[in-house]
Chains A and B, each alone.
Chain A
Amino acid sequence: MTTMTTRPGLAPRLSALTKVVEHGPGRLDRKLLDEANTLLQQAGERLKLSSEHTVVALAGGTGSGKSSLFNAISGLELSPTGVRRPTTARTHACVWGLEGAGPLLDWLQIQWRHRFSRASALDKGDSQLHGLILLDLPDHDSIRALTDTEADRLIGLADLVVWVLDPQKYADASTHRRYVTELAGHDAVTVFALNQADRLTKEELAELVIDLNDLLRREGVEHPSVVPTSAVTGRGIESLRSVIATAVARRRAAIQKLEADLHRLEQRLGKAMPLGEALSSPSAVDEARRMGLTDALCDAVGVPAVGEAMENVYAERSNQWVGWPYPRWISKFRSNPLKSLRLQDVEDEIRGITTGSVSAQSAEVANAVQALADGLSMGMHPVWRTAVHRAARSRSAQLPQALTEDLAEVAPQLDRVPAWWRVLQIWQYVLVVAFVAGLAWLAVGLLVPGQLPPALELLGDTAALPWVGLMMASVLGLGALSGIASRNFVELGASRERERLEREMRRRVAAVSATMVVEPVERELARHHAFYTAMRDLSV
């Protein structure tokens, strides 16, 4: 694969995969995650072991001639061949150039007694095979293989797999469906040996090779490398050797194999969690969304209503203190419906109601949080969407309570009485007293003029009476005016207070939601972002 070389090295991609695995749990399919873990582990182990050696496995169905090929390539009768099926039950290994191969063979779990070595003494012409570890695998398709996964395991571990096919079995589903279709992208590290070519005539062989090539292409092997061989006549063995020798000499098979594995895993990951527009999803909660959440939570607490209520209640209550007292007194004479219902005490209670504090409505809080999560996770993979929701809700059970408690501190005390109310009340009462005094003067002046002691003579001065009347009227007017004015003051203050209150409440709501909602959500968003960044890095 030429594209492979242009790709960034294996290491960054492996580290990207590590990140994917790190962020994957709970988000990725468990099986896929396991596979990724296995691949990571396998890659780590293989890269640590001898890079001087190339593990080539001969794989295939029973009776295809793996052992015969093995012997033919090694030039020795190392692996017993036979006509009984299945013949080989244990993997045999032959090593060209033993130094450093031990740990690799250990890793492959090849039994000691099945390890053979082609010391250089034996083979002059085998120098190009130096560094080859040739494995003769058991079959993968016999009834024995149903309970033995050795072949499966080693096919996964080998750097280069030579599929040994034969004219009878070359199109078996057991080979193609289970392995070949899975190997798309492994062209560089897969070779197909069409063994037992001696059983066919030349024409038949040609037809068969074409057919096999077609079949492999259909299954996604873009550039199948098919080598007709015959362990019996020795035909094609040399070509196979040279194919293997090339791979061995380049010392790249292990890397290429891992790259191909990685590529395949990446494809599957990509299918399970398509990158798509995932990276354009928000990675943090932006200001607008925070505002939106705060607004919604304020609504849940009823902040605007609280402000309004405060205003109204202040205005109503201030009337008791700073209002013009006369209408109040008059209304007292009006018969109270509650009184007629014998519910006088209710009145006090109604007054008590206004002392109630602020509280959050949990259903509305839940909806607000939900709305935030919905907005953030729109377009996300369902798994992530669920995760974002879960994160948003992670503390929603405590949220209403927290809001209630926090806001209670700033809740307006509706029954509080400002000092200036009292002053104004005194002023009003002073005015009332003045009025009463004027009234008395007027009475005295009108009823008993002249009979007064000289000290009070002035009172009897009828000429002053109009002035007195005028004064009384202005006292009344003054009371009414100051009542109106102070009410206006109250309202002004209340609305200022309301603004302050709302600001404060909003601030607190925002603070609470930041720690209890936004924070966990942002953690999840960050994870989402990191995951897909890793996915992108993996696939680049």
Chain B
Amino acid sequence: MNTAMDDGRQEGPGEQTLSFRPVGDEDPAEGRADGASDAPDAFDAFDAFGTKGRRKPARGGRSAPAEPPAPKTSPTSEEAAASEAAEAAISAEVAADEPSADPDAPPSTEPAATTDPATTDPATAVPVASDERADEADPGAPVDSADVSDALEPGKPAVASGEPADEADPVASGDAPTTAAPDTTALGTTALGTTALGTADLGTAGPGAADPGTAGPEAAAPGTADHEAEASELGTAGPGTGNPDAPEADTADPAEPKPAAPPHEAPAGDPASKESADGTTGAAPAEGGEPEEAGEPEAERPSLFVKPAALGGPGARKKAAGAAPSAEGPSDAQDEGEQPGGEAVPGHPKVEEDLPAEAAETLQSALDTLREAVADLRFGLDLPGVEEARQAQADLLAQLEGYVLPRVRTSAAPALIVIAGSTGAGKSTLVNTLAEKNVSRTGVRRPTTGTPVLVCHPDDRKWFAEGDLLGGLERVDQPSPEAGLRSMVVVSTEKLPQGVALLDTPDIDSVVEEHHEVAHRMLDAADLWIFVTTAARYADAPAWGLLKLAKERGARLAIVLSRVQPRSAEVVLKHFVRMLTEYGLGEIDRFVVHETKVTEGRLPDSEVTDLRLWLAELSVDEERRAQAVRETLNGVLNSFRTRVPALAKHLEGQVAFRAELRGDVEAAFRGALGEIEKASKNGSLLHGEVLARWQDFAGSGDLMRSLQLRKRGRAAKQAPERVLAFKAAIRAGLESVIVAAANRASEEVVARWRHRSELGAELGDGLDRPSDNLVRHTGRAIASWQEHLGDLVRTDGVAKRSVSKLVSFDPDSLALIFTVAMFSGNGEGVPHRLVNALLGAESLRGIGAKALSDLRARIGMLFDEESMRYVQALDSAGIPDESVATRLYQATYNLEVAR
């Protein structure tokens, strides 16, 4: 099957069928169209049946034969099914007659044609239809089946159980070859043909069996669904691959020999059809050049025999089961090299796990690293965009933990289909209808759903109830008011096919904004998105926002347009489709739900048939599902390429911002120091009181008195108050210079911060003044500096020997004179000359340098203390760690490598 898919046939058909079903805007498969043209009458009749009425005549025609009867009859009774099958077969035959003429081999063509329509129609129409098809196919099968069935019979149980596919496979494959051999004889492709036949049989048998046996009790539709499920399992297990191929082949046959492939796929949705298709497909590939022929011959046989098979009931089923595996075998064989052998089996595993274990491990560890790096991310600063970044981080983390990691760990896990959309769009109603159970509350109040509800098949329940997927949400069984948004209701129902789970989410656009976030979180964990909008809402901005997101993420998407008034359906649809197409989403699967009476929170079943089929296809067609899962996963991983670096970038921005702010602080205080330096050099310190005191000191003779001739030996007489006042004035002057500079620096820092951003303004709040301690600390620092200077003058300032012999001086006064000399700047003037003469140039320079550097150091300490306040403010806002950004880049790179 893989191969077949690779060929591109599958995809083609798949898309077609899907797209055509829902919207019916485009003519689905060309092949069908052909088929339709071939058997126009039949189609018309079917049209009438067309439950949805969306199909165009051509399709309807095809589908019609199978569909109408299928849905209604099949569910009710086996007999009915049988009869339907018969009818179908007949119709098929009828239809086939015409086509048969066209192809080379009339007989072969006929059956092919019949099968095709049958398969396609049923597929599109309803699961039930598939049964019918199967029936149809059966006829063909019988020929082979006779043989096969016998041989296969052991396989029956497997079929019955459904799951034992694996077991069945071997058997089947074993049988298949044998059966195939006989069948094949006809053509070179015989092998294929036989297989095809075999599959056809199986398919038919499957449905048949289902209807009478398993299906019997249940509604036809569900029955079919189940069958499909089983069949799919079988198919997937072994035949899985075969199935897709098969349908393609079938459809192709009827429609167009060459394009056959695409049309075939269409039916793929229905397991039964697939099965039958398998048979055919097997044939088709085998034929290679001429799918028609191959398919036809096989088809013929089946068609002929089908009826009997179908009639055969249980036996048929078993056979079918057996056949199915066989078919797979062959189909695979064909794909690879026409070896009916066990190749089929290897094919499947491939689908399931596209990554070799080693690669998966690497990927996982890369993702783990990424997760850690993302988790370590801290955005401390409330810069613009930080909320978004934090949100993005949380989203990323949640998506990694809740989706990517679990998904990579177990790629075969069931697919999670998240149903998202506007409030009041009918998400819950849709889920209820699909689950055939009121699992999610519906109502007229908006928004209705507050707690996400997950619905899955009982077999998948474990995975969802206990798995890591959406691990952040507490699982509950019942929706309750207290459950809230942090939990998720998990409900299981048999009505949903296996392998797919539906998640009903809160809305994306109601007043309750928490809902939006939860919905997006859910979407982050989705394998597929079903986007639900309504005829009244399809142009809403939030809706398109979500579509844009899906497009960006590369998520697999299906769109449901609900609440469409039947009378305006066409206009609305056309318009919507045009909008979608313009947006580049024209290819997306679309479904229409009409505005109907909602009873007990559910829609009439007929409204969701297509969706159900779509789900069934997903369920059955493991490869398709796996592909969808993989695509979405890839999309998510791709999105990491930009999302993670964006986070890292923001972090870097924060680091840079912080550095800038710190730079501002440093620059401001460096500027302040410079100012003081300047003031200490240009003499501006010697203004005001200092100047007056100096004049006082000098003019009052104190200056002279401080110098005494040594020989007099008299201690200098001082005028202590005056010296002290002078000293105090100098201290005050210095202090004021420092405080003024600090004032200016503080203001500058805050101004700069404010200028940078709002956050800067916030951080700088209350810091635009120096600390209250500054004045006190400055006073103390200057006083101790003066003290230090006095000491320096006393100790280092050993006067020149020649002088000291003559003169003694008062060190305190001399220190003052020295200070004046120091601050007067130019190396001239009285004080300078005085101290120079007293202390000697060298000693003067030494003391000067020491005193200056000491002063600088003290002021530096003061300013350091001041700037610490800013740094603390910055730190209190959080310290971004730059290394995390590097780690993020590294992790992104590693992830890319691991992929």
Cross-chain contact A169 with B740 (CB below 8 angstroms) = no
Question: Taking the nearest CB of chain B, how far is it from the CB of A195, in angstroms?
Answer: 11
Q: Which of chain B's residues has its CB closest to A349's CB?
A: B830
A367, B722: Cα distance in complex, Å: 25
Is B837's beta carbon under 8 Å from chain A? Answer: yes
- Scan residues 305-355 of chain A and give those whose CB is less than 8 A from a CB of chain B: 305-306, 308-309, 312-313, 315-317, 334-335, 337-338, 340-343, 346-347, 349-354
**Chain B positions within 8 Å of A350 at CB level:** 698-699, 703-704, 830
**Given A173-B511, A343-B834, A374-B769, A142 and B688 touching (CB < 8 A)?**
no
- Scan residues 786-802 of chain B and give those whose CB is less than 8 A from a CB of chain A: none
A304, B725: Cα distance in complex, Å: 11
Q: Which of chain A's residues has its CB closest to B701's CB?
A: A316
Q: Is the interface of B mostly helix, strand, loop or mixed?
A: helix
**Chain A positions within 8 Å of B565 at CB level:** 83
A64, B694: Cα distance in complex, Å: 88
A350, B692: Cα distance in complex, Å: 14
Q: Which of chain B's residues has its CB closest to A374's CB?
A: B769
A49, B685: Cα distance in complex, Å: 68
Cross-chain contact B694 with A353 (CB below 8 angstroms) = yes
A338, B838: Cα distance in complex, Å: 10
Cross-chain contact A337 with B539 (CB below 8 angstroms) = no
- Scan residues 681-700 of chain B and give those whose CB is less than 8 A from a CB of chain A: 684-685, 687-696, 698-700
**Given A167-B444, A305-B693, A346 and B539 touching (CB < 8 A)?**
no
A349, B646: Cα distance in complex, Å: 72
**Given A168-B534, A341-B803, A309 and B739 touching (CB < 8 A)?**
no
**Given A86-B539, A168-B563, A215-B511, A315 and B700 touching (CB < 8 A)?**
yes
Cross-chain contact A367 with B833 (CB below 8 angstroms) = no
**Chain B positions within 8 Å of A166 at CB level:** 536
Is A414's beta carbon under 8 Å from chain B? Answer: yes
A301, B691: Cα distance in complex, Å: 9
Partner of A142, one of B422, B540, B699: B540
Partner of B541, one of A145, A308, A414: A145
A83, B564: Cα distance in complex, Å: 10
Stretch at the interface among A184-192, A267-275, A358-366, A464-472: A358-366
**Chain A positions within 8 Å of B513 at CB level:** 173, 177
Question: Taking the nearest CB of chain B, how far is it from the CB of A418, in angstroms?
Answer: 17
Task: Give B711-738 as 1s and 0s: 1 = Cβ < 8 Å from A's Cβ atoms.
Answer: 0000000000010010001001100110
**Given A143-B540, A309-B695, A84 and B722 touching (CB < 8 A)?**
no
**Chain A positions within 8 Å of B540 at CB level:** 61-62, 85, 141-143, 172, 174
**Given A172-B509, A337-B806, A309 and B696 touching (CB < 8 A)?**
yes
Q: Which of chain A's residues has its CB closest to B539's CB?
A: A85
Q: Which of chain A's residues has its CB closest to B510's CB?
A: A171
Question: Taking the nearest CB of chain A, how far is it from the CB of B725, in angstroms?
Answer: 7
Q: Which of chain A's residues has its CB closest to B740's CB?
A: A363
Partner of A359, one of B509, B687, B744: B687
Is B743's beta carbon under 8 Å from chain A? Answer: yes
Is B535's beta carbon under 8 Å from chain A? Answer: yes
Cross-chain contact A361 with B510 (CB below 8 angstroms) = no
**Chain A positions within 8 Å of B692 at CB level:** 302, 305-306, 308-309, 358
Partner of A366, one of B575, B743, B829: B743
Cross-chain contact B733 with A361 (CB below 8 angstroms) = yes
Cross-chain contact A169 with B704 (CB below 8 angstroms) = no
**Chain B positions within 8 Å of A532 at CB level:** none
**Chain B positions within 8 Å of A103 at CB level:** none
**Given A312-B699, A337-B707, A302 and B539 touching (CB < 8 A)?**
no
Partner of A84, one of B537, B575, B829, B830: B575
Which of B563, B688, B699, B733 is most buried by chain A, counting CB atoms within 10 A of its CB? B688
- Scan residues 141-180 of chain A and give those whose CB is less than 8 A from a CB of chain B: 141-146, 166-174, 176-177
Is A370's beta carbon under 8 Å from chain B? Answer: yes
Q: Which of chain B's residues has its CB closest to A63's CB?
A: B536
**Given A172-B511, A309-B700, A313-B695, A341 and B769 touching (CB < 8 A)?**
no
A85, B688: Cα distance in complex, Å: 80
Is B74's beta carbon under 8 Å from chain A? Answer: no
A313, B769: Cα distance in complex, Å: 41
Is A211's beta carbon under 8 Å from chain B? Answer: yes
A144, B575: Cα distance in complex, Å: 14
**Chain B positions within 8 Å of A305 at CB level:** 688-689, 692-693, 696, 725, 729
A308, B446: Cα distance in complex, Å: 86
Cross-chain contact A359 with B424 (CB below 8 angstroms) = no
Is B542's beta carbon under 8 Å from chain A? Answer: yes
**Chain B positions within 8 Å of A57 at CB level:** none
**Chain B positions within 8 Å of A86 at CB level:** 539
- Scan residues 493-536 of chain B and give those whose CB is less than 8 A from a CB of chain A: 509-513, 516, 534-536
Cross-chain contact A63 with B537 (CB below 8 angstroms) = yes
Cross-chain contact B445 with A361 (CB below 8 angstroms) = no
Task: Give B445-457 as 1s and 0s: 1 = Cβ < 8 Å from A's Cβ atoms.
Answer: 1110000000000
Is A204's beta carbon under 8 Å from chain B? Answer: yes
Cross-chain contact A360 with B687 (CB below 8 angstroms) = yes
A466, B47: Cα distance in complex, Å: 164
A58, B536: Cα distance in complex, Å: 17
Question: Taking the nearest CB of chain A, how far is it from the CB of B805, in angstroms?
Answer: 9
A363, B740: Cα distance in complex, Å: 6
- Scan residues 664-692 of chain B and give those whose CB is less than 8 A from a CB of chain A: 679, 684-685, 687-692
Cross-chain contact B696 with A313 (CB below 8 angstroms) = yes
Partner of B535, one of A83, A308, A382: A83
Is B765's beta carbon under 8 Å from chain A? Answer: yes
A359, B688: Cα distance in complex, Å: 5
**Chain A positions within 8 Å of B695 at CB level:** 306, 309, 313, 353-354, 356, 414
Task: Give A281-305 as 1s and 0s: 1 = Cβ < 8 Å from B's Cβ atoms.
Answer: 0000000000000000001111011
Cross-chain contact B733 with A364 (CB below 8 angstroms) = yes
Is A208's beta carbon under 8 Å from chain B? Answer: yes
**Chain B positions within 8 Å of A356 at CB level:** 691, 695
**Chain A positions within 8 Å of B704 at CB level:** 337-338, 347, 350
Question: Taking the nearest CB of chain B, how far is it from the CB of A423, in angstroms?
Answer: 23
A367, B447: Cα distance in complex, Å: 62
Is A499's beta carbon under 8 Å from chain B? Answer: no
Question: Taking the nearest CB of chain B, how far is it from the CB of A86, in angstroms?
Answer: 5
**Chain A positions within 8 Å of B834 at CB level:** 343, 346
**Chain B positions within 8 Å of A61 at CB level:** 540
Cross-chain contact B806 with A174 (CB below 8 angstroms) = no
**Chain A positions within 8 Å of B599 at CB level:** none
Is A99's beta carbon under 8 Å from chain B? Answer: no
Cross-chain contact A141 with B446 (CB below 8 angstroms) = no
Is B807's beta carbon under 8 Å from chain A? Answer: yes
Is B423's beta carbon under 8 Å from chain A? Answer: yes
**Given A84-B575, A316-B700, A302 and B693 touching (CB < 8 A)?**
yes
**Given A85-B539, A354-B695, A340 and B709 touching (CB < 8 A)?**
yes
A304, B512: Cα distance in complex, Å: 72
Is A200's beta carbon under 8 Å from chain B? Answer: yes
**Chain B positions within 8 Å of A142 at CB level:** 539-541
Is A207's beta carbon under 8 Å from chain B? Answer: yes
Cross-chain contact A359 with B691 (CB below 8 angstroms) = yes
- Scan residues 470-513 of chain B and give those whose CB is less than 8 A from a CB of chain A: 509-513
Which of A172, A208, A315, A338 is most buried by chain B, counting CB atoms within 10 A of its CB? A172
**Given A174-B542, A316-B699, A356-B695, A200 and B688 touching (CB < 8 A)?**
no
**Chain B positions within 8 Å of A144 at CB level:** 539
Cross-chain contact A299 with B689 (CB below 8 angstroms) = yes
**Chain B positions within 8 Å of A208 at CB level:** 444-445
Cross-chain contact A171 with B689 (CB below 8 angstroms) = no
19 contacts between A and B (CB under 8 A): A62-B536, A84-B571, A141-B541, A168-B534, A173-B511, A300-B689, A302-B689, A302-B690, A302-B691, A304-B689, A305-B688, A317-B699, A340-B807, A349-B830, A353-B695, A354-B699, A363-B679, A366-B744, A414-B699
What are the 3 closest A-B residue pairs judged by CB atoms, nearest first? A361-B688, A63-B536, A302-B689
Other 4 A-B pairs with CB < 8 A, given A83-B571, A353-B699, A361-B688: A174-B540, A309-B693, A337-B704, A414-B695
